[in-house]
Structure 1
Amino acid sequence: MPATRAFVTGASGQDGSYLAERLIADGVEVHALTLSGEVPAFLPADVVVHRGDLTDVAATRALLADLAPDEVYNLAALSSVAASWEDPDRSASVNGGAAVALLESAWQVSQAHDKQVAFIQCSSAEIFGEPAQSPQSEDTPLRPVNPYGAAKAYAHLMTGVYRSRGLHASSMVLYNHESPRRSPRFVTRKITSTVAAIARGRADSLVLGNLDARRDFGWAPDYVDAMVRAARHAQADDYVVATGKSHSVREFVAAAFQHAGVRDWEPMVHTDPSLLRPTDPTDLTGDFSRARTVLGWKPSVSFHEIVARMVDADLVEP
């Protein structure tokens, strides 16, 4: 059954907007925490926006105690792996420590009101780092190779700790998921927006880092659906949310140019060594068997259709 009230962090991002839309459609009263306090693009007007910083534990805890939500979705993160190398302290604070503090806050609400509070922690495939097995499942050892993955691994493990304490806490190990709402800071949106610009004669080159890195690309609204299913399932658990298929960055580029109708695109693509990360997993592919079996979830949009939808959206951008 849908909750009465939900609290969402990271609501200004791609996932936050889709999640808010889904919850509002379910008749849930949605409260969102954003740094600016303003209603971000794509966020439904019905969402009650609160200004705050997740790392301000006291203020966030007081807000949660006042709202006493039925569901808590922690989507807030310093979400760029590259940025985590530039500011590992901030990555550890936001992605790790603040997430654990929010778990404690949800636990306190559940105890104060003697009710179940469903907590969803958005984890990442980056917790697996350079895995020894492929595809990866919930049982794959955690071996993060960057500050982002290490901080996410801490929050992921602590979600399990709070679950054993009695909190309905689930960690969603989300593999790459895309949409036209993806920030231009991410390589996928950089690709589709630049390809669209080339197709319209407004750019002549695409500069990237590692073209050989392979990722499991899914459709963002599908992954939001998995979060909601987990929050409302009888038992909390960890879930890998993925498609089970990986594609290289080079394949993503090729699919984007092909959909935009640009031939002989290879000379337009260049590699800049400064965009290469100190360490970068070569291949991350997820096994979503548990999500399929327990939650009845599966991906609904193919890789090429995801790329096509993103390119189409960028082609009509003013």
Structure 2
Amino acid sequence: MGTWGVGIKANDDFMDFYDDIIEQFNDGKPFDEITKAMLHKYESEYKEEIDQLHNLFFALAYSGWECGYRDAIIFEKVKNIIEDGTNIEVWRELGASSSTLTKREKALSDFLKRIEVKKKNPKKAKIIKFKPAIFDKGTVLVINLDNGTYSGAIVLESENEDKEYGSNLILEAFINKKTKPTIQEILKAKVYDYSWYSSHGYKKYSSRFEIIGNLNVEQNYSCCRGTGSTYSSWINLVSNLQDNYYRYKENNRFKKVKKFLNLKSIEIEKIQRERVINEMKALLKQKSNSSKTT
């Protein structure tokens, strides 16, 4: 049970259920249908895991209260769970201390009192405005870095599968020039890094990017969503390039941008798996060295 407090919402499982419910609510689905769908999806799956079921019922009751809806059956389930001490017993079996159980009892009591009274201003469905990926696949960029120099980048992929934000997979070249690099200079440069960038937060840094052309990028880079893939923010893309970071990221199989573009997806997947393995080895070595010194 991923729990960080005694409150109803201080639990990973609760928040997962809650987020699922609210997402459906924002999509315009009636709350009675959401309730039926959630019960159908999870009730039988977690019938042997009482703590999970409790979080499911709590999430349905709380989100329903927030949105001005009460399912009589769910409310009674939650009321019984709280009043007969079932949830406290679950926490006791999971090893909670006496003081924690006392605090949990109060949190449950307060929660029940809260949802017994109709919410004055129920939550309204939030209409999500989709923000597509910023750049088209193959776009070549010049980046004005924090120190005033210029770097370059190539957009490897453009995806718009998420409900809120599109994203770009961008490969940054290892360039620090006082003048703007050309497309050929970017292709001949070493690979600095490649990561996914969401359309969220781009506006603040939009003036730091300039489109200088477009390349025909045929490779499908959806494989870069898997093991070893990295996700970054625009602030990192405009930050000064660091020699030590480059050496950490460097891979002899694609020192140049142009060579990277010729790699097949299976080769990239292999490289990403090796990256994860190497990072784990480094972490284990660090822990081993740390334990020896203590």
Q: Same fold by TM (over 0.5)?
A: no
Higher helix share: 2
- Short-chain TM bin: under 0.3
Question: Which structure ranks higher in relative contact order (CA pairs < 8 Å, sequence separation ≥ 6)?
Answer: 1
What is the TM-score of this pair, normalised by structure 1? Answer: 0.22
